[in-house]
Amino acid sequence: MTAQIIDGVEISKKLRADYSNRVTQLKAKGITPGLAVVIVGKNSASQVYVRNKHKACQDIGMHSEVHELNEHATEAMLLQFVEGLNNNSAIHGILVQLPLPSHIDEEKVIELIKPEKDVDGFHPYNVGRLMIGEPTMRSCTPYGVMKMFEHENIKLEGKEAVVIGRSNIVGKPMALMLMAEGATVTICHSKTRDLAAHTKRADIIVAAVGKLNMLKADMVKPGAVVIDVGMNRTPEGKLAGDVDYANVKEIASHITPVPGGVGPMTITMLLGNTLAAAELGSGRNN
């Protein structure tokens, strides 16, 4: 069996068309959804991500502004900058690009962002609401994966799901979202004793480790759904995921490619979160 490929570019196109219509409707009411992205220093990978986010906003008619602070900007300067964006009624979503230089406390910065403008879903308030199953701003990558399941009509209730990776940005929120949909979830990580024993009994596998070709075909149950969140470089310099794609696609029922899988969905959900924030009135100053 060759797996069905879950095409993140195609799903993104559909979602973004819907978002674009909703932006038009908001504009008719005098509201232009606005995203502010803040980047500190000159991390080249971050600069590429930020450029892509900016362009994606513009493509659907949203306002986007990118603020580049010099690498020597102090924590106090960044906090003051974020406070300004919190109080700016033209800005509905704030994203501070991570990683920040080591002299800045990331947690302190994230906690200052108004939760209703926290389009990354990183603020402890939003993380807490996700934990207790309340509507909230969700971390973009796992949220994008959930949209992929929905689009492909992959049912999660009662399924065995294994998430590999326990990061705050992907692994942990992914597990919570899967659990909220009725999956039985196992989180594996670098200290897991026998990873294959877990993955081999999984109906759904989400790999979010950052290790090239880590998930091999003999670790996957025939017919499993395999989602690859990894973004690695091959020795030849090509972009590739955590999954040994060529071999796992012969075993799985569904698989996401890298590139063209989860990656585009992450930016799509950032647009969705910013739009939702604007629709919910995050720009109001009260």
* Residues near ligand GUN, by CB under 6 A: 49, 95-98, 120, 140
Question: Is the peptide bond preceding residue 259 cis, with omega within 30 degrees of 0?
Answer: yes
Contact of 93 with 277, CB cutoff 8 Å: yes
Q: Which of 118, 120, 203, 244 is catalytic?
A: 120
Name the minimum Å distance from CB 165 to ligand GUN.
Answer: 14
Q: Which is nearer to ligand GUN, 120 or 203 (CB)?
A: 120
Residues constituting the chain: 286
Name the minimum Å distance from CB 106 to ligand GUN.
Answer: 9
117 among known catalytic residues: no
Q: Which of 53, 147, 159, 249 is catalytic?
A: 53
* Amino acid letter, 60: I
Q: What is the rounded CA–CA span in Å between residue 92 and residue 271?
A: 11
Q: Which is nearer to ligand GUN, 56 or 140 (CB)?
A: 140
Q: Which is nearer to ligand GUN, 66 or 98 (CB)?
A: 98
Residue in the shown chain whose Cβ atom is closest to ligand GUN: 98
120 among known catalytic residues: yes
Name the minimum Å distance from CB 98 to ligand GUN.
Answer: 4
Name the minimum Å distance from CB 266 to ligand GUN.
Answer: 6
Q: Which is nearer to ligand GUN, 94 or 183 (CB)?
A: 94
* Cα Rg of the chain (Å, integer): 19
97 among known catalytic residues: yes
Q: What is the rounded CA–CA span in Å between residue 3 and residue 224?
A: 9
Q: Which is nearer to ligand GUN, 38 or 220 (CB)?
A: 38
Residues with a known catalytic role:
53, 97, 120
